[in-house]
């Protein structure tokens, strides 16, 4: 069976261009997770590389299937030059390692929390996992492997995260849309929640 990660990196490059930086993080008991940085027209994108090497497995399953199961990578987009967003590399790698470390299945609508600001001075400690397919198309793999999905991450303030737990991801996304929220602004304030 072919290694998935070179195919994933090729898909990221074809969608986002050449990365201008990359960093690698290894956590005890996990495979290496890389974070690639892409810059284009005032937007910087950070993409994980390594999360899709193995399928995500439901933690309630007694024996994990080493082949079948959802695969994903994470993509975070922010406006360049407004904050020290390059410090997001480690928190993003932590999120990408969560399926291996915590047995999470990361899917659209989920909240992921790192418990600290995503970068110095960031008003966000968590992200909302959005629907894939807009920025980077799914990568189809040979049967029986599931495709790799590239999941956009939308930073949430603690108030937004709490509101989302009560009202749901769709309701929060509608609040953002109705308020004209710039989700790429690395220092934006919380959307008005009533």
Q: What is residue 93's predicted lDDT score, i.e. its pLDDT?
A: 93
Instruction: Name the band, by pLDDT with cuts 50, 70 and 90, for residue 31.
Output: confident
CA pair distance 162, 139, nearest whole angstrom: 33
Measured distance CA(38)–CA(193) in Å, rounded: 33
Nearest to 172 by CA among 186, 158, 185, 79: 158
Which carries the bigger pLDDT value, residue 64 or residue 44? 44
Predicted pLDDT at 130 = 95
Residue 2's pLDDT is: 53
Q: What is the pLDDT of residues 48-92, one digit of tens each?
A: 999 999 898 876 776 666 778 899 999 999 999 889 999 999 999
Whether residue 73 contacts residue 151, with contact meaning beta carbons closer than 8 Å, is answered with yes
Radius of gyration of the CA atoms of the chain, in A: 16
**Residue 1 pLDDT:** 40
Query: What pLDDT shows up at residue 28?
Result: 76
Asked which of 27-36, 42-51, 61-70, 96-105 is least confident by mean pLDDT, the reply is 61-70
Higher per-residue pLDDT: 3 or 169: 169
Unique residue bearing structure tokens 């308020």: 179
Residue 117 has pLDDT above 60, yes or no: yes
* Mean pLDDT of the 28-48 span: 92
What confidence score (pLDDT) does residue 164 get? 96
């Amino acid at each position: 069976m072919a290694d998935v990660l070179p195919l994933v990196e090729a898909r990221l490059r074809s969608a986002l261009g050449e990365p201008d930086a990359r960093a690698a993080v290894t956590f005890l008991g996990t495979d290496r997770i890389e974070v690639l940085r892409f810059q284009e027209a005032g937007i910087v994108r950070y993409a994980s590389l390594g999360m899709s090497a193995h399928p995500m497995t439901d933690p309630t399953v007694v024996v994990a299937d080493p082949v079948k199961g959802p695969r994903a990578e994470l993509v975070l987009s922010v406006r360049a030059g407004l904050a020290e967003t390059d410090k997001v590399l480690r928190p993003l790698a932590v999120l990408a390692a969560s399926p291996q470390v915590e047995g999470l299945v990361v899917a659209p609508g989920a909240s992921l929390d790192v418990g600290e600001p995503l970068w110095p001075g960031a008003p966000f400690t968590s992200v909302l996992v959005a629907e894939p397919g807009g920025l980077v198309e799914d990568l189809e793999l040979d049967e029986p492997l599931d495709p790799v999905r590239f999941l956009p991450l939308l930073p949430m303030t603690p108030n937004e995260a709490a509101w989302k737990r009560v009202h749901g991801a769709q309701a929060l996304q509608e609040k953002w849309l109705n308020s004209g929220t710039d989700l790429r602004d690395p220092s934006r304030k919380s959307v008005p929640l009533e």
